[in-house]
Amino acid sequence: MQSSVALNPGIEPCLAPGRYVDSDHPAVVEFAARVAGRAAPRQAAINLYYAVRDDILYDPYRAFDEPDTYRASAVLSEKRGYCVGKAALLAAVARAAGIPSRIAFADVRNHLATPRLLKLIGTDVFIYHGITELWLDNRWIKATPTFNLSLCEKFRIRPLEFDGESDAILHPFDAAGRQHMEYVRQRGTYVDVPLDMLMPEMMATYPALTALAKDARGDFAKEAEESR
């Protein structure tokens, strides 16, 4: 698939495989080829977004001291991941399809997390929320594949749609008009997941989540349904 990278050589690194955005992994390459097919870049990006959003389940109960939590191919293999892992996967399959990509981060305040999750993290602020940025039509467009459709239905949150033309960031209100999520701090963009910075921050901020993941992970979808 042809990309527009030749029009802007400065984005060439955003097409190269990374350690965590491992776009050259065979499973990532196969996924991208199967989902994107021969579609033009914008349609390919749309197809990839929905596949990552809905085929990979959102799961916040991850071990933040394990590199595979952040690695695209590992998230694809397990078919579940948290926001950064899913953002890395969308970035990886986009690169495999010839679409330059990078990872952006922001701190967000989440008003509809489950009671158990809020108790474990001790705050409603989630640091380093992961977002994918895709280079389409000579500009960066944000895409956030975090919450899969079935989870949105349990939470009664409107699923986040992506048209390849406008930024897709999490809706500020749920389907009932209640506030869902707000962005409180931008954390910049990176060609690959900045693990040396990110992992210590996650472990220091959310030690109980990592401890839980080492023992027995939670069932976030079930919690969402029970908390309605």
pLDDT digits (tens, 9 = 90+) for 173-228: 776 777 777 889 899 999 999 999 999 999 999 888 877 765 556 677 777 766 66
In a domain, 87, yes or no: yes
In a domain, 3, yes or no: no
In a domain, 4, yes or no: no
SS3 state of residue 123: coil
Task: From 20, 33, 139, select the one nearest 94 (Cα to Cα).
Answer: 33
Instruction: Give me the pLDDT at residue 3, please.
Output: 43
In a domain, 27, yes or no: yes
**If pLDDT is split at 50, 70 and 90, which confidence band does 1 have?**
very low
- C-alpha to C-alpha distance for 101 and 94, rounded to whole angstroms: 7
Residue with tokens 């990006």: 45
pLDDT at 5 over 50: no
pLDDT at 132 over 80: yes
SS3 state of residue 47: helix
- C-alpha to C-alpha distance for 106 and 131, rounded to whole angstroms: 8
Instruction: Give me the pLDDT at residue 218, please.
Output: 61
**If pLDDT is split at 50, 70 and 90, which confidence band does 36 have?**
very high
- C-alpha to C-alpha distance for 217 and 41, rounded to whole angstroms: 37
Q: 125 pairs with which residues across the strands?
A: 109
Query: Domain total for the chain?
Result: 1
In a domain, 68, yes or no: yes
Stretch among 56-65, 98-107, 109-118 having the lowest mean pLDDT: 109-118
In a domain, 77, yes or no: yes
In a domain, 5, yes or no: no
In a domain, 2, yes or no: no
Residue with tokens 């992970």: 217
Residue pair 48/90 in contact by the 8 Å Cβ criterion: yes
pLDDT at 27 over 50: yes
CATH label of the domain that carries residue 56: 3.10.620.30
**If pLDDT is split at 50, 70 and 90, which confidence band does 109 have?**
confident
pLDDT at 6 over 50: no
Task: From 203, 222, 196, select the one nearest 121 (Cα to Cα).
Answer: 203
Residue pair 187/107 in contact by the 8 Å Cβ criterion: yes
- C-alpha to C-alpha distance for 106 and 57, rounded to whole angstroms: 21
What is the overall mean pLDDT for the chain? 88
> Which range of residues forms the domain containing residue 178?
12-223
Mean pLDDT computed over 19-43: 97
Residue pair 47/39 in contact by the 8 Å Cβ criterion: yes
Mean pLDDT computed over 124-133: 93
